[in-house]
Amino acid sequence: MIRLEQLCKHYRLGGETVQALDHVDLNISAGEYLSVMGPSGSGKSTLLNMLGLLDTPDSGSYWLNGTEITALSEDARAAERNRHVGFVFQAYHLIDRLNARENIELPLVLIGTPPAQRREKVNALLRRLGLERHAEHRPNQLSGGQRQRVAIARAVIRRPALLLADEPTGNLDSHSGQDVITLLEELNDEGITLVMVTHDARMGQRARRRLWMQDGTLLRDEQDARR
Amino acid sequence: MLGADLLRFNLRLLTGQWFRTLMILLATAVGVAAVLLLTGMGEGARRFVLDEFNLLGNDVLIILPGRKETTGGIPPLTGEGTRDLTLADAEAVLGLPGVQAVAPLIVGLAQVEAEGRNRELVVVGTSTELFRMRQLEAGQGQILPDTPLDRAEPVCVIGSKVKQALFEQQPALGQWLRTGDRRCRVIGVLDARGVSLGTDLSDAVLIPVASAQQLFNTQGLFRLFVQVRHIDLVDTLKPAILDLVQARHQGERDITLITQDSLLGVFDDILQLLTLAVGAIAAISLVVAGILIMNITLISVSQRTPEIGLLKALGASERQVHRIFLSEALMMTFIGAMLGVLLGYGLLLGGHWIWPQFPVSVPLWALLGAILLANSVALIFAWLPARKAARLPPVLALKGETDA
C-alpha cells in the first residue's frame, strides 16, 4: 500500500542543517501494525508527517495506493489526506469551542456531507467507543482518555486506510493509555493500517512490526513471524 | 464545506470570543451608522431647501431689475438696474396673454411701533397675489385685500414673531401699527410656518405695495413674480416679457428673468455634492474599521495556528482555510453593518421626532454603498491574513509555530 523510495528531508534549525530523513526506503502493506521508535530528533515524527502527506520530501518518491504523491498539487494532497489518512496526536488537537460530536464530524463537514448522514455515522461511532453520553460535551469537560477517544473517532470517521498515531498515549496515565492502545489495535484488527510513533518501548513491542530510527535512517526493521 | 456548516462554524467562533466580536461589530456599526446619519442629514437638508423653494411652483417667473450677463452659475439675486421696475411695468406684464397673475415685491427695513414698543423690522410691500403664489395663510384674521396695486390701503399683515414681540398675548387684530411715518391697522397674523425663499416672513410686516413705495420713497420694485397660466407657456412668455419691458424702458433690456428651476438646479447640485462629501468623510471611518478587522484577523490567525494545522491534517485545502477565515471576517462585518443600519435609522428617526420639520431620508445609494463598502473593506483587509493562514505549513502549524 505504501512505498517510499530514497526519501530525503532536511530542516534548517538555527543555522544548522538537520537531516530528518536520509534516503529512507520503506514498504508497508495494507493492514500492518507498525511502531516507530527512536530517540528524539531521529526523524520518526517527520516520517509520520510524510506518510500523512502533511510534509513534502526534498527528494525521493512516495506511492500511496499506487498514486505518486510528490506529483500531486496541494489541493489534491488535502483531498487524499481527507479520504485515506487519519491522524491521532499526542495533544489530541480537539477544537475547544466545539463539542465532541462536532469535533468528530469535522472531516465530514469539510467535504460537505449533509447533516443527516453525518449524524448517523457519528452516532454509530459514539456508540462503538462508549461516548454516547459525552456527545454534547466540550473537550474541557472530558477526561484525557475520553478526549483521545474522541480524537480517534475523528480520525476514523472517514474510514481511512491509514491511521497515523504520534505518541497517542503520551499525555495519558497508564490505565487510559491502555484503553486507547486497545482501541487502536481493535481498529487495526478490522483492517486499518496502523503506524504509531512512540517513546515507550513497552508500547512499541506490542506492534507486529517495529522500526528503529536514528539520525534520519532506519536502523532496524523487526517483524514478527506470527501474523 | 456546506454554506450552513461554514456559517455555524463561524458563529461558534464569534460567540466564543464575544468581546473581540463585539469590538468589531461596534467599529463596523459606527462606520455604517455614520455614513447613513451624515448622508441622511445632507439629503434632509436638500429636501428641506427644495421643499421651501418649491412652494413657489414651477410656473412662476421672477423678474429682477437690472441685467447681468450670466454664463451658468447662480443667477444674480440683487439687481443693479439704472431704470426702476415699476408698478406700471407690472400692470403691463399682467396684460400679456398667458400671464395669470403678478406679485410685486418691495423689501426694506423700518422702525415699527405699537403699544409703546419699538422694533426695527423687515417691511415687505406686496399684494394679495403673493400670498397665493407662496401658499401663505393667515393664522388669524385675513391676508392683504385684493385691491388695485396702486392703492395704499392703511392695512398690514404681521408675522407670528412680530405679533409676539409687539403684542405678546394681547389680541393684535384691529390694533394700529406705526411703520416709519405711516400708520396701518393689523388685519391678519401669518400662521407660524413663515420661512419661504430664504426670507423669514414670521419676522416681517406685510403691507400693500403702494404703501411700501410711499414708506421707502421709491418707485422701483425689488422683484416681480409672474405666474403663468400653464407651465408650457413659460418658454414662450420669457422673450415676450423681455421684449415688453425693453419697449417700455426706451429700448434697454435692463431686467433679468429667472425661473425657480434654474435656482433650484443650482441648489440641488450644491447640496447633492455636499451630501456626497459628508458621506465620503463618514466612509473613512469604515476604512478605519477595516484596518481593525485586519488586525483582529491577524491575531485570530496566530491564536488559531494549531487549529489551522489540524484542519489541514483533516483534509482542508489552502482554498478552504482561506475561505474559512475570509467568511469569518465577512460575517462579522455583515452583522456589524446591519446593526449600523439599525443604529443609523434609529438616530435619524429620533432626530426627526425631535425636529419634525426636518425631513430625513437616507438615499438608497448611501445605504447600499455603506453596506457594500463595509463588506468590501472586510474582504480586502482580511484577504492577506487569511492567505497567511492558508499558506501555513501544516506540520509547523500543528506545533503552534507560524513561521516557516
3-state secondary structure B74-135: CCCCCCCCCCCCCHHHHHHHHCCCCEEEEEEEEEEEEEEEECCEEEEEEEEEECHHHHHHCC
B272 and B393 co-located in one domain: yes
Q: Is residue B64 part of a domain?
A: no
Taking an 8 Å cut-off on Cβ atoms, the answer to whether A81 and B315 are in contact is: yes
Asked if the model's pLDDT at residue B370 lies above 80, the reply is yes
Nearest by CB to A110, from B12, B316, B318: name it.
B316
Chain A residues close to B4, C-beta within 8 Å = 115
Average pLDDT of chain B to the nearest whole number: 84
CB contact under 8 A, A52 and B16: no
User: How far apart are the C-alpha atoms of B227 and B54, rounded to whole Å?
Assistant: 14
- CB of A52 within 8 Å of a chain B CB? The answer is yes
What's the grid cell of residue B245?
A: 419691458
Spatial distance between the Cα atoms of B312 and B314, rounded to a whole number of angstroms: 5
- CA–CA distances in Å: residue A99 to residues A106, B207, B271, B357: 11, 84, 56, 56
For the segment B375-396, the average pLDDT, to the nearest whole number, is 88
Q: Can you list the domains of chain A with their CATH numbers? A: 31-49+75-223 (3.40.50.300)
Q: What does the pLDDT look like over B129-168, one tens digit per residue?
A: 888 887 788 888 888 888 888 888 899 999 888 888 888 8
Q: Do B131 and B169 lie in a common domain? A: yes
Distances (CA, A) of B234 to A76, B74, B240, B268: 75, 20, 10, 21
Same domain? For B326 and B394 the reply is yes
Pick the last residue of a domain from B193, B227, B253. B253
Look at residue B81 in the predicted model and tell me its pLDDT.
47
- Contact list in B for residue A112 (CB cut-off 8 A) is 1-2, 5
Query: pLDDT category, A194, cuts 50, 70, 90?
Result: very high
- CA quadruple B166, B167, B172, B178: dihedral sign: negative
**Contact between B315 and A110 using a beta-carbon 8 Å cutoff:** yes
Determine, yes or no, domain membership for B73.
no
Q: Are residues B246 and B291 in the same domain?
A: no
Cβ–Cβ < 8 Å for B311, A110: yes
Chain B nearest-CA distance from A192, in A, is 17
Instruction: Give the pLDDT confidence score for residue A225 in this predicted structure.
Output: 55
Nearest to B294 by CA among B379, B354, B167: B379
**pLDDT over threshold 90, residue A5:** yes
- Determine contact: B109 vs chain A, CB below 8 A: no
Q: What is the domain range of residue B94?
A: 83-253
Q: What is the pLDDT of residue B402?
A: 63
**What's the pLDDT at B290?**
84
Alpha-carbon gap: A210 to the closest alpha carbon of chain B (Å): 24
Tens of pLDDT along B21-57?
898 899 889 989 998 988 888 888 888 877 766 666 6
Taking only residues 61 to 80 of chain A, the set having a beta carbon closer than 8 angstroms to any beta carbon of chain B reads: 74-75, 78-80
Are residues B249 and B317 located together in one domain of the fold?
A: no
Q: Is residue B342 part of a domain?
A: yes
Q: Are residues B237 and B377 in the same domain?
A: no
B69 domain residue, yes or no = no
> Taking CB atoms and an 8 Å limit, are A110 and B311 in contact across chains?
yes
In a domain, B78, yes or no: no
**In 3D, which of B37, B125, B126 has the Cα closest to residue B342?**
B37
Contact A150, A136 (CB under 8 A): no
B307 to chain A: closest CA residue: A95
Q: Are strands A85-88 and B195-196 parallel, antiparallel or unpaired?
A: unpaired
Q: Which residues of B touch A153 (CB under 8 A)?
A: none
Residue B259 lies in a domain: no
The C-alpha angle B54, B60, B62, rounded to 5 degrees, equals 105
Residues B318, A74: C-beta atoms closer than 8 Å: yes
For residues B226 and B308, state if they share a domain: no
Determine the pLDDT at residue A102. 94
Would you state the cell numbers that stand for residue A166, as one nine-digit string? 504520534
Q: Do A79 and B1 touch (CB under 8 A)?
A: no
If you count residue pairs, one on A and one on B, with CB atoms under 8 Å apart, how many are there? 71
The number of distinct structural domains making up chain B is 2
Binning pLDDT at 50, 70 and 90, where does residue B292 land? Answer: confident
In a domain, B344, yes or no: yes
Query: Do B95 and B41 fall into the same domain?
Result: no
Q: Which residues of A touch B306 (CB under 8 A)?
A: 93
Contact A78 B320 (CB under 8 A): yes
Taking the CA of residue B394 and the nearest CA in chain A, the distance in Å comes to: 6
Residues within 8 A of A (CB atoms), B 268-307 only: 306-307
